[in-house]
Amino acid sequence: MRTALGIDIGGTDIKLGIVDEAGKILESGTIPTRAAEGPRAAALRIDEWYRRSSGADPGVSAAGADCAGLIDGSRGWLYVSPNLPGWGGIDLASLLREALRLPVTLDNDVNCAAWGEYLHGAGRGTEHFICITLGTGIGGGVVIGGRLYRGWQGLAGEVGHQVVTEAGPMCTCGTVGCLEAAANAASIVRRARDLIADGGASVLPATGPLTAREVFEAATRGDRVALEALAMTGRALGRGLANLVHLFNPEVIAVGGGVAGAGELILAPAREAMREMLMDEVLAEVRIVPAALGNSASLVGASMMAFATAER
């Protein structure tokens, strides 16, 4: 079976893997990104890992890279990445190609996660599939008729920046009302704080540091404030899901990313809010499910994109 090199470039670390065509990660590693040293230095360090790993054997036919940001996947162009300051406006795929001497694809991390989930995870067997990642930000990838949908400039699927309200805090993009601001990890902490300030009894601290994970852990132990904070974020997410269903009419929407770790405590209220908003019962047949591949969805998806390119 052929193998590909997967390259998942984050702001802090680069996850690397040798992945076979069945989506199995045969070998994996992590190296620091050191974004300030620039993309060329990172490419050389990726090549170093690749040469040391068993992936240097001739079975590796191509490499697939991904990172967060605005990327035109059809030509491997990185417009801008929030986690990689100074890397914007470059042909990152070509840069990696030169270092690795392999065909290289580049796409948005969320598009790659969606592609991985579509082929080997929660989207298997569907034709109209959307994968959302919920974390610090909210991203999405859309598969239409068995193909990743990129749009005119390769920038489709920015599900986190659809506006769903005129209230709420300003999003990192500068707009008030984005789904991202209404349903990301920070929204859970914000809601828990607000409920405590309003007199809600909770094991959570009223001041000082607090993470979404801590809220989730309190919720699993039955803390009412924590449960309500998760449910409120779930309902906000449901507004975004209803919009996606009205616009794309997908068969399955998978929800992954850090916040999705809260599982049904988020997804159940999200489904309920979504169903209340859908204009017809037929549309409510969409299935909202947890993503299946966890943290490795992007790495697997990027690798699968590499195979497709190697075939050309």
Residue 278's Cβ-count burial label (10 Å; 0-12, 13-18, 19+) is: middle
Distance CA 270, CA 178 (A): 16
Of 32, 249, 263, 294, which lies in the binding site for its own copies, with binding defined by CB under 8 A? 249
Of 162, 217, 290, 308, which lies in the binding site for its own copies, with binding defined by CB under 8 A? 162
Min. distance of Cβ 18 from its own copies in angstroms?
Answer: 33
The verdict on 127 binding its own copies (CB under 8 A) reads yes
Of 54, 153, 211, 220, which lies in the binding site for its own copies, with binding defined by CB under 8 A? 153
Which stretches of 35-144 are DSSP H helices?
A: 39-52, 92-100, 109-120
Supply 2's token pair.
């052929």
Cα-based torsion angle of the residue sequence 15, 241, 154, 45 in order, rounded to the nearest 10 degrees: -10
CA distances from 8 to 30, 271, 293 (A): 9, 31, 14
Write out the binding residues for its own copies, residues 49-68 only, by CB under 8 A: none
Stretch that binds its own copies, among 2-10, 123-131, 213-221, 222-230 (CB under 8 A): 123-131
The verdict on 170 binding its own copies (CB under 8 A) reads no
The verdict on 152 binding its own copies (CB under 8 A) reads yes
Supply 151's token pair.
């749009």
Min. distance of Cβ 260 from its own copies in angstroms?
Answer: 20
The verdict on 173 binding its own copies (CB under 8 A) reads yes
Vertex 55: Cα angle to 61 and 21 (nearest 5): 50
List interacting residues with its own copies (CB under 8 A): 70, 79-80, 126-128, 142, 144, 149-159, 161-167, 173-175, 177, 239, 242-244, 246-251, 276-277, 279-280, 282-283, 285-286
